[in-house]
Structure formats: C-alpha cells, structure tokens
Amino acid sequence: MVKQFLAVLLICLATFSLAQNPISKERDSTKIARDSIKKAEFLKNIGNGYLPVNFFNLDLRYLIKFNQYEGFRTGLGGVTNKDFSERYRLNGYAVYGFKDKRYKYSLGGGVRVNEVSDTWINLSYSDDLRETGSSTFLTDKRFFTFFEPRLLNIDLFHRHITKSIGIQHKISNHLLSEAQFSTSRINPTYNYNFLLDNKIYNTFDLSTATFSLQWSPFSKFESEDNQIILKKDAYPKFTFQVTQSFKSVLGSDFNFSKLDFRTIQQFDHRNDSKTNITLVAGIAGGEAPLTHLYHAYPNNITKETILQRFSVAGLNSFETMYFNEFFSDKFSTLQIKHFFRPFKVSERFKPQLVLISRYALGDMKSINRHQGISFNRLNHLYSESGFEINRLLLGFGLSFAYRYGAYHLPNFEDNIAFKFTFNISL
C-alpha cells in the first residue's frame, strides 16, 4: 500500500512538474524578452546621445566639449520623455565656457497636435555660439558622437540670441517636413564688418523663415504595436531646404535667400564592402553676411609641420583644407568613400580600410562686403584624396590625406594631413 501510494505521489509530482515547467519557461522567456527590449531601448537612447533618468532624458552632448574659442565647455541639458507626457515636451540646456568665461543656454518646449502625422509645434529661446559658415538642415535626424572631431579646432564663432517658433510634420513615412520662423541678434566674436549701402554692420538683426524637406523614397517601414518602425534604411536620400531673410520685419537688417541641397547614395557590395557618395550644394543670394554663407567643412589647423597639425579627422570634412581658408556664397562638394570589408585578424580586432576622395567648388561675388577677415575664393576645383584605417585600437585609427590640383600648395608638407580617427558604435 505504501509502495502504491509513493508511486502515485511520484506520478502526481512528475505530472505537476511537467505541467508547471512550460509556464515557468514561458515566464522566464517573457522576462528575458522584456529585459532584452529594455536593454535595446537603453542602447538606442545612448546611441542617440541620451541617458534616460525617470521622465527626463539627459543629453550627453552637453557634458563636455572643447574648441579654440571657449576652451573646455561643460554643462547639462536634456528633454522630457514619454513618461513625462506623450503630448507635451520640455527641453533645454545650460553650459559654461572656461576660456571665454560665459554661460550659454537654451529653453524650449513643444506640443503634439496630431499623433498620426507626428505633428509638433515647437518654441525655443537660445543664447549660444554658432560656427560661422556652417549650414544645417532642420529635418536632420539627431546625430550623436562621443566627441565631434572638427569642434576641437574651430575658432570662428558668432554669438546669437534666437527666438523661434516651428512646426514639424510627417507628410508620409518617406517624406518629413519642418518649418521655422526665427528672429536673431548676431554678434561675431571676431573682427568682422559687413559693408552694405555705405553702412558698416558689426552686429545685426535677422528675421528668417526656413522650410526643409527630407525624402527617403526607398526606405521600408512596418507597423508594430501601433508604431511605425524603420525596417530598412535605403538609399538614395534627398534633403532640400530654403531660407528667406526679411528686411525690416521685426527689425531685421538684411534681405537674402538661401537654397540648400544634399543627396546621399550608398552601394552595398556582395563582399561586405560598400561605397558611399555624398553631394552637398548651397547658394545664397542677396545681402547675406559671412555668418550665413558657406565653408566646405575644413578641418586643418594652420601650423608649420605635419606633426603640429596632427589632430582628429572628421567624418565628412576636408582634412587638408585650412580653417577659414575659403568662404563662398555658392558651393558644392562631392565626397566618395569606399569601405573595404573589415580584416578579421581576430574576433575583437577587425580593422577596416577606407579609400576617400573629396572635391569642392564655389565662388563669392561681393567679397569686398566682408571686411576685417581675409579668405580666398573657391572658384577652382579643390581636390584631396587619401585613406583611413579605422578601429585599430579601442575605436581609434589613422587617416592620411593629400591635397592636389588647383589649390596644391608650393610647400609639399602643407598639402599633407596625417591624423587619427575615432569610430565607435553601440
């Protein structure tokens, strides 16, 4: 009787164990899936430059930077996330430059007026610096690197106090738009005078309207959990932007217009190599000051020897072009990069060779308007070619570039740029 009871008990225990095990496994798999989703979301935020802290995403861009004008620049900033609100958001930052001994800050917020089209109305107030001659697109998705190579050597900034109102709207999954109206008080931090109609301006006010479109016709999207997810980031991509400054509107001093364009094409080859081609162009007409014209993203400092110029190569910059060497009111650049398949030396050591050629062409009509600063016209073809060997050690690599063609310099060493690279991905 005892043996029979024990047998029945064992059978029941075994049955109970077998019945419960799938549930336990299901729970474990659910927990693992949730943890995996949380980890993926966390890494995505970090990759975008954010560190989530409760209802606030800390912006890693503002922790520490360095440039020639501010020296070290450090501060805090961020934006509220969905735990705060799915309809409203607040954003801002405050930083301090140790060399210029000034605080800079920005405050802003937005309200989503349509969830399906992801339409937001945004307001902001900023008191900060901006690199003279730089041009950005409103619709550019956030791009973050642990440090920005070109920033280390930039010394030509202008201060701007800007108030803006804008609207961002998703026309379709493939077509994003953003419009903005802003007023700015511009004060160059360097010796610069803008001569117009026999009047000299060293500070000025601008009222501008900007409209930008980003078109990704071949990217593929899918709906998951009532959210549109990018499944394949395909090429080519196109970005258009038009800017108009209105004289006498809210005290604006100048009337000018700008048209900017960028296209990116990428060819993926069967042997895990790829070729990337980027074309950027811009034209400014009217009474545009130097602060709102163009450079070709130079990244070479004015030093005598190659080793003195040794610094960090940028991602899309001209490594042999010296800072403040050229400015243009119309320009175009073409960059071709071929990424070879990484060399698998070991599981952790996989350096990659990249061949690079860059070309730039531009011009400046009324160069005499811009006084106090000397620069050259880019009315001949600027050419440089070279290579990178990336990820040699802890994300660091080496870069070599040579300047040739119409702007080849008499001193051979002045045409060479030898730098290190930094590439890391999460």
**CATH number, domain at 168?**
2.40.160
Residue 343: which domain range?
A: 116-422
Task: For residue 40, tell me if it sits in a domain.
Answer: no
Q: Whose CA is closest to 194, among 114, 262, 286?
A: 286
Whether the Cβ atoms of residue 223 and residue 256 lie closer than 8 Å to each other: no
CB atoms within 10 A of CB 128: 16
Residue 328 DSSP label: B
The verdict on residue 62 lying in a domain is: no
pLDDT, residue 47, reads: 59
Distances (CA, A) of 250 to 185, 206, 239, 268, 365: 11, 8, 29, 50, 28
- Whose tokens are 């109609």? That residue is 197
Neighbours of 192 (CB within 10 A): 20
Give pLDDT, residue 334: 97
Among candidates 330, 167, 168, 137, which has minimal Cα distance to 241?
137
The 3-state secondary structure of 64-75 reads EEEECCCEEEEE
- Asked if 385 and 204 count as a contact pair (C-beta separation under 8 A), the reply is no
CA distance 400 to 208: 40
pLDDT for res 221? 85
Apex 327 CA angle, 143 and 249, nearest 5: 80
CA separation for the pair 21, 80 (Å, rounded): 42
323: closest CA among 146, 131, 184? Answer: 131
Nearest to 101 by CA among 129, 126, 132, 70: 70
The answer to whether the CB of 361 falls within 8 A of the CB of 331 is yes
* 365 occurs within a structural domain: yes
pLDDT at 150: 82
Instruction: Answer whether residue 188 is part of any domain.
Output: yes
Helix (H, G, I), strand (E, B) or coil at 302: coil
308 within some domain: yes
30: three-class secondary structure by DSSP: helix
> For residue 151, is it within any domain?
yes
Sign of CA dihedral 362, 366, 369, 374: positive
Over its length of 426 residues, how does the chain's per-residue pLDDT go in tens digits? 434 333 333 434 443 344 444 445 455 555 565 555 566 566 566 656 788 888 999 988 899 899 999 999 999 999 999 999 999 999 999 999 999 999 999 999 999 999 989 999 999 999 999 999 998 899 886 555 555 778 888 989 999 999 999 999 999 999 999 999 999 999 999 999 999 988 999 999 999 999 999 999 999 988 777 677 888 889 999 999 999 999 999 999 999 999 999 999 999 998 899 999 999 999 999 999 999 999 999 999 988 888 888 888 888 899 999 999 999 999 999 999 999 999 988 888 989 999 999 999 999 998 999 999 999 999 999 999 999 999 888 888 999 999 999 999 999 999 999 998 887 655
Q: For the chain, give me the number of helices (H) and strands (E)?
A: 1, 25
21 lies in some domain: no
pLDDT score recorded for residue 10 = 41
**How many domains in the chain?**
1
| CB-based contact 351:343 (threshold 8 Å) | yes
Tokens at 391, concatenated: 């990820």
Give the number of residues written for the chain: 426
> Would 74 be classed as within a structural domain?
no
